Structure 1
């Protein structure tokens, strides 16, 4: 019997890796000087960079177009400025979304004296030529503790449109067939997640510190039916093929510390 979910590990130490001194980066997909034809894109998901940026360092003003760019703040503070007039200091729990559309320019750097740890994620838009837009959302650790927080969702979903229109809280709107869930799972706890798309990607955030070798830290088991399962540690990720419509994935923290987990549900 074909399992409802099939997992292919993307181990942390196999990711692209760049150490520029002020910037230590891991690349899940081909990016900048890192190229691997086997890891270029997964559905609309194009970039997952796990970056650590030294205090008072960062990326000077540079342009982007035709990408949906969102930044998940793990620790530290980020100073953002862009050509749309947005200036903001972002901190732990914040999620910033820039729909670059026909073109924007921005700068991003560490604010304050502590190292900045972020996940920068890019997806391909469902259509080109969109008007650039900028959004920020905040999701506290309590909102993620042992439950799923829906932090990004397609801009065309009715509740997402309503939250944007009314200025209320809700997931950041993305112009891609992508929904992002986040959780901080306590030791011994487990969660289930219905996957509605044709594929998915999971990532365990490397919160225990920079490690260019084999992943350590938190340990998480992902499983489906028919005995399909995969154990991941911090920095590890996995491609998921969804073979059965409405398949449910089980996520269990099998380690001795909390685990911060991202699940991308993709069409």
Structure 2
């Protein structure tokens, strides 16, 4: 198993006043040929949007777009007629397919912190779809909550609201955890690529990462230490086991991708 660190301070970032954002991959005015995509994973943006502001109506097509809400409330409206206010624990997935238009704004007086993630679907020209799921902190505490899975996977329900992971038309599974101090979690990869990201929960920080602290290792690979905002590319053979340990002084919120 091989790890390549993606330090938080090296991500693309911008402070637009109303929006503070980080880009793991090339996005908008940020471009880095070494960090353009990873398998079907195309975007991981960690966004903080100020109250009474947001992203006006804009178009998307041929991407699977999901939002993972960390704090605050985000109002979503789209051309399919969906209107929803999302809160902590909510995950929304829009399969843009042949084309949709949507807007996203803060709802209420609190800044909203969320991760916007895009993947490339295996099939082009899909009909647009919208899914929403909720995963409580208890469901994530010291275990992996399976929050996104391929639409054809066992147990995935292709309905707007349902239990279990949100359907995605990409070869990608996404897991989330709230890992307590001193605790470990393992994951056995089903594919050859992975990406791990430590959510920057303690505040916007463009300098060297701080806050929660985890250590990742695997078969003949690692260990690699990560703090808030840090990530790592993972190369693994199917069946290899990843171990994530919280070696810091606080709970760590972690996202783990298993993908092609």
Q: TM-score, normalised by structure 2?
A: 0.98
Which digits, 9 at most, give the CA deviation of each residue in 1:37-96, with x for residues without a partner?
000000100000000000011001000000000000000000000000000000000000
> Which of residues 128, 131, 134 is equivalent to 1:135?
131
Aligned mates of 1:158, 1:195 — CA distance in 2: 17
Match of 1:229 in 2: 223
Q: TM-score, normalised by structure 1?
A: 0.96
- Give the length in aligned residue pairs: 260
Q: Is the 8 A contact 2:194 2:233 kept in 1?
A: yes
Shift of 1:159: 1.5
Structure 2 runs not aligned, ≥5 long: none
Aligned mates of 2:238, 2:258 — CA distance in 1: 12
Aligned mates of 2:220, 2:102 — CA distance in 1: 47
Aligned mates of 1:159, 1:145 — CA distance in 2: 22
Is structure 2 residue 144 aligned with structure 1 residue 148? yes
Structure 1 runs not aligned, ≥5 long: none
Match of 1:255 in 2: 248
Match of 2:193 in 1: 199
Which digits, 9 at most, give the CA deviation of each residue in 1:126-160, with x for residues without a partner?
01000000000000000000001000000111311
Change (3 A) 1:115 1:167: closer
The RMSD of aligned alpha carbons is 1.1
Shift of 1:226: 2.5
Shift of 1:166: 10
Change (3 A) 1:186 1:133: same
Which digits, 9 at most, give the CA deviation of each residue in 1:14-50, with x for residues without a partner?
0001110110000000000000000000010000000
Aligned mates of 1:167, 1:204 — CA distance in 2: 27
Which digits, 9 at most, give the CA deviation of each residue in 1:87-109, with x for residues without a partner?
00000000000000000000000
Aligned mates of 2:172, 2:204 — CA distance in 1: 28
Moved more, 150-159 or 224-233: 224-233
Aligned mates of 1:151, 1:39 — CA distance in 2: 24
> Which of residues 111, 121, 127 is equivalent to 2:117?
121
Aligned mates of 2:98, 2:58 — CA distance in 1: 14
> Which of residues 214, 218, 225 is equivalent to 1:220?
214
Q: Is the 8 A contact 2:132 2:161 kept in 1?
A: no
